Amino acid sequence: MAERFLAEGAAVHVSDIDASLLEGLAATSATAVDATDAAAVEDWLGPHTRIDIMAHAVGFVHHGTVEDTTDQDWRKSQSICLDSAFHVTRAAVPRMKANGGAVILIASLASSLKGYAFRAAYSAAKGGVIGLMKACAADYLSDGIRFNAICPGVVDTPSLRQRIADLADEMGSVEAAEAWFLERQPAGRFATADEIAGTGVWLASEDGKFVTGQTINVDGGISI
């Protein structure tokens, strides 16, 4: 998403918990930030008095039923997926009120939209992201701040490849684990990160300026 906004000419300030993943990105600034830390998020945004677009793409996928989910697993899921969205949104809004803008939260189909096996903690957290988005869309409509959530299908990312590798022993092979994920894709393939990012650019653009409070499914037909 940062790459797509850069291509559109935006001044992009990007962060990740691992700054090495941002090397080579021609952003205005690239900083290591732990988005689960409210103070760290506020410090990161501290120098910026105006923000026009805030995109939040933070996640952790715990694999398991509620019986497989420890208190630690549950809290980690909520902290990374939902608390971070709250921290980023709360810090961004005061810097957007004067001029309006767009907040884009990456949620998931595995949320209030659709139930998936072995995604209890993750679905609860991402469902919370959608609830946060809708409440904020109502609260800040008069300030010209639009809030929307993108709900991707399964996206081919390093996170997905790690989850496939983690399941490979249990399922007998990497191929079997990959096939398990592909079974949920009516389109017969995973989404690319760029396909998700393009929706984010549209939501932030003039073409998307009448869209707020919406969940946008980019899922290759899963939700049909």
Q: Which residues are catalytic?
A: 122
User: How many angstroms separate the CA atoms of 58 and 43, rounded?
Assistant: 18
User: How many angstroms separate the CA atoms of 132 and 127, rounded?
Assistant: 9
Where helices occur in the chain by DSSP H, the ranges are 2-7, 38-45, 71-77, 84-92, 120-139, 158-171, 174-182, 193-204
| Contacts for 188 with CB less than 8 Å, ≥ 6 apart | 182
User: How many angstroms separate the CA atoms of 154 and 109, rounded?
Assistant: 9
DSSP 3-state of 174: helix
**Nearest-5° angle of CA 203, CA 207, CA 213?**
40
Where helices occur in 8-157 by DSSP H, the ranges are 38-45, 71-77, 84-92, 120-139
Dihedral pair phi/psi, residue 158, rounded to 5°: -55, -35
Angstrom distances, CA of residue 95 to CA of 23, 129, 167: 27, 20, 42
What residue has token string 């923000």?
Answer: 51
